[in-house]
Amino acid sequence: MIRARRRLHRSLFTVLVIVVPVLLATVILFRPTVPPFASISPALIRQGGFATSESTTPNRVGIDTREFEISARDDSDTGEIVLEIRPTKVILKPDLLVYWTQQAAPDDSLPPQAVLIGRLSGTARRALRLPKSAVDARTGSILIYSLAHHEIVARIALDEALAMSRRG
């Protein structure tokens, strides 16, 4: 029985010695070509808003509010406002957080009184409940803030979002 197994293994290994190199050479010859990094990198660098050798200052790419479908539901039973945000395309900014603030921020920094209401990622629809102070005031701004870049990338007035959802 051992002798029969040894013969079988010897013949299998002989076949493998011939088949594996031929298979490897075939795979290497017919693999798809990958474009060199240099041919695709300028477009990606411009799209990401990174500095290039031609520019002395980095390109800052903000997010246009048209890149979001925004609607606000006023739930009369509970008295809450639910803000629904869905990016229409994948946003190239990392760590997007959604804040509500009563007063508008004068620059790209996050105001200290801003209230975190949720986060955005991908193109998934997010339903975010606004804080009680936003429901009472019905004013203020929704800020979309990039935590990695420490900047506000989009601002939406709450009353504008409420008006848009009443129209649509």
The domain spans of the chain are 2-48, 65-167
Handedness of CA 52, 56, 60, 61 (dihedral sign): negative
Query: Quick one: which H or E segment has residue 27?
Result: helix 2-30
Residue 132 has pLDDT above 70, yes or no: yes
How confident is the model over 12-52, as pLDDT tens digits?
999 999 999 999 999 999 988 766 555 556 666 666 555 44
Which are the contacts of 46, defined by CB distance < 8 A and separation ≥ 6?
52, 59
How confident is the model over 83-116, as pLDDT tens digits?
888 777 777 778 888 888 887 666 667 888 888 8
For residue 9 the two structure tokens come to: 């293994």
CATH of 65-167, one of 2.60.40, 1.25.40, 3.30.2320, 3.30.420: 2.60.40
How far apart are alpha carbons 106 and 121 in whole angstroms? 26
**What is residue 62's predicted lDDT score, i.e. its pLDDT?**
39
Q: Cβ distance 59 to 50 under 8 Å?
A: yes
